[in-house]
Amino acid sequence: MHRLLVLALAASALPTISLAQALPFARPQLQVRGFANEPGRAPLLSPDRIVVRFHKGVDVDTANKLAAEVGLEVVDRGLYGEFVVFRSQPDMVDSYVEWFASQAAVDYAERDPIATTMATPTDPLWSPYQWNMFNHRALSNGRASNFGIQADAAWSAGATGTGVVVAVIDTGVAYENFGTFTAAPDLVGRTFVSPYDGVANDGHANDENSHGTHVAGTIGQVTNNGVGCAGVAYNCTIMPVRVLDAAGSGALTTIANGISWAANNGAKVANMSLGGGAGSTTLSNAVVAANNAGVSLCAATGNTGRQGLQYPAAYSQCIAVGTTRFDGRRPRYGTYGTGIDVCAPGGDTSIDQNADGYADGILQQTFAPGAPTSFSYYFFQGTSMATPHVAAVAALVRSVRPTYTAAQVRSAIETSCKDVGNTGYDTTFGYGIVNAAVAITR
């Protein structure tokens, strides 16, 4: 939470394969292996794709059927049928490659390498300052950042949030030139839809605080424009929903209205970098209805530094987001406890672990308090800053898995985290730090 804000917080056995006359397949012996596609290694490999070329005369449909019996999905047959691409669980890919390569009916089997357009953003503040989005082992001012969310690896795999509407339920967003308000320069070019101001009860959800604009930048800052910072789901569409006033506070009924607006106007993801010490029936009802409508709800656990999640994060329908710092530890301010689901970088402005001369906060463009036309780049800290990383990853998942339900998106995020703290789930970090590169393969 930016300290001036009140509420803005911010392997199971495989089935037996039926042998077919056309294919002398032997039953595969598979071993679960670690995810091998950690950027920094060459070549960059698709995390879940296997390419197989069968001998001429082989009944490829039969091969596909057999492969399906062990959980593989056919995703490409080659332009002229010269190869078949299967999708596998990422931790099984290497074992499947070995299995296919050992079959008498197979010419070759390999993982599918990735070529990219050099996804590293052209935004000048990306390196070294946006360590929170870096791939594992990428350097920030010469120091390895092993606790970023691997955003650029997800971009290299083609996930950018295209087609997904993300509601930023907050203090508003500097998204338009209207009256005394000015659009944030680094958000110019981002698509905005269905704005709603629950405080003024109109259709102009302009930010009077600065918090919501910073949050929106982490989700969808315009990227590769040679200006400022990058955003995680930089091709998503943002729905600005203002529920907190200029002081960063708001009634739970106003927040409930904002959630309902998002759910009824096309949002597939909602970011709530806000919270309070108590819930209400009205707020709970809005959260339940939005979840039932298929919205992925991401909410900040709080900045109390103590156990006990804030609301709405405490509701089970929300993905409750805790916070980490440059070294993957929990900052002193981070709220934790029963119900926390995942963590993401929220920064710690009391330290400079990468020794770049700046506090280790989360960097995005926003305006000076009280001056909504005076923009610069600010390092903020808080679960408010952590939560939009998770909302953006949800948008990345939905952009590559558009038929996924909210429950499937949640599962993709939770089962792909980088485990920190105690092994497995714990009440300090939940399932761990979100990993965009793996989440999009789940």
In this prediction, residue 76 carries a pLDDT of: 83
3-state SS record for the chain: CCCCCCCCCCCCCCCCCCCECCECCCCCCCCCCCCCCCECECCCEEEEEEEEEECCCCCHHHHHHHHHCCCCEEEECCCCCCCEEEECCHHHHHHHHHHHHCCCCEEEEEEEECCCCCCCCCCCCCCCCCHHHCCCCEEECCEEECCCCCHHHHHHCCCCCCCCEEEEEECCCCCCCECCECCCHHHECEEECCCEECCCCECCCCCCCCHHHHHHHHHHCCCCCCCCCCCCCCCCEEEEEECCCCCCCCCHHHHHHHHHHHHHCCCCEEEECCCECCCCHHHHHHHHHHHHCCCEEEEECCCCCCECCCECCCCCCCEEEEEECCCCCCCCCCCECCCCCEEEECCECCCCCCCCCCCECEEEEEEECCEEEEEEEEEECCHHHHHHHHHHHHHHHHHHCCCCCHHHHHHHHHCCCECCCCCCCECCCECCECCHHHHCCC
In this prediction, residue 91 carries a pLDDT of: 77
Distance CA 193, CA 402 (A): 19
Tokens at 415, concatenated? 């089962």
In this prediction, residue 370 carries a pLDDT of: 85
- Relative to beta strand 191-192, strand 196-197 is unpaired
The pLDDT of residue 18 is above 50: no
Residue tagged active-site, from 211, 214, 399, 416: 211
Which residues make beta-bridge pairs with 51?
85, 110
Name the least confident of 88-102, 124-138, 305-319, 330-344. 88-102
Residue 293 CB neighbour total at 10 angstroms: 14
In this prediction, residue 145 carries a pLDDT of: 84
Sign of CA dihedral 137, 140, 144, 149: negative
The 10s digit of each residue's pLDDT in 33-65 is 322 232 333 345 667 889 998 888 777 777 777
In this prediction, residue 103 carries a pLDDT of: 86
The answer to whether residue 350 is catalytic is: no
The answer to whether residue 284 is catalytic is: no
Mean pLDDT over 256-277 rounds to 97
The pLDDT of residue 17 is above 50: no
The pLDDT of residue 9 is above 50: no
Residue tagged active-site, from 170, 245, 341, 348: 170
| Nearest partner of 164 among 393, 388, 399, judged by Cα | 399
pLDDT band at 92 (very low <50, low <70, confident <90, very high): confident
In this prediction, residue 127 carries a pLDDT of: 86
- Relative to beta strand 84-87, strand 45-54 is antiparallel
Opening angle at CA 215, ends 211 and 216, nearest 5: 115
Q: Roughly what angle, to the nearest 10 degrees, separates helices 406-414 and 383-400?
A: 120
End-to-end CA distance of the chain: 31
Which residues make beta-bridge pairs with 322?
343
CA dihedral 438, 232, 421, 308 (to 10 degrees): -120
Average pLDDT of the chain is 87
11-34+45-113: in CATH 3.30.70: yes
The pLDDT of residue 441 is above 60: yes
In this prediction, residue 424 carries a pLDDT of: 95
The pLDDT of residue 322 is above 70: yes
In this prediction, residue 54 carries a pLDDT of: 87
The answer to whether residue 214 is catalytic is: no
Phi/psi-derived region of residue 31, left when phi > 0, alpha when psi is between -120 and 50, beta in every other case: beta
- Topology (CATH level 3) of domain 131-439: Rossmann fold (3.40.50)
- Relative to beta strand 138-140, strand 165-170 is unpaired
- 434, 344 contact by CB (below 8 A): yes
Tokens at 327, concatenated? 């070294």
In this prediction, residue 114 carries a pLDDT of: 57
Tokens at 192, concatenated? 């905005």
Name the least confident of 17-21, 48-52, 227-231, 313-317. 17-21
In this prediction, residue 78 carries a pLDDT of: 79
The 10s digit of each residue's pLDDT in 376-406 is 999 999 999 999 999 999 999 999 999 999 9
- Relative to beta strand 362-368, strand 342-345 is unpaired
The pLDDT of residue 8 is above 60: no
Name the least confident of 101-110, 173-182, 237-246, 341-350. 101-110
Amino acid letter, 440: I
Amino acid letter, 174: A
The residue among 238 and 27 whose pLDDT is bigger is: 238
pLDDT band at 83 (very low <50, low <70, confident <90, very high): confident
Sign of CA dihedral 198, 203, 207, 212: positive
The 10s digit of each residue's pLDDT in 205-215 is 999 999 999 99
In this prediction, residue 46 carries a pLDDT of: 67
pLDDT band at 27 (very low <50, low <70, confident <90, very high): very low
**The two domains 11-34+45-113 and 131-439 share their CATH topology (first three levels equal):** no
pLDDT band at 73 (very low <50, low <70, confident <90, very high): confident
Residue tagged active-site, from 95, 384, 399, 416: 384
Mean pLDDT over 299-313 rounds to 96
In this prediction, residue 71 carries a pLDDT of: 84
Amino acid letter, 401: R
pLDDT band at 116 (very low <50, low <70, confident <90, very high): very low
The residue among 66 and 115 whose pLDDT is bigger is: 66
Domain ranges of the chain: 11-34+45-113, 131-439
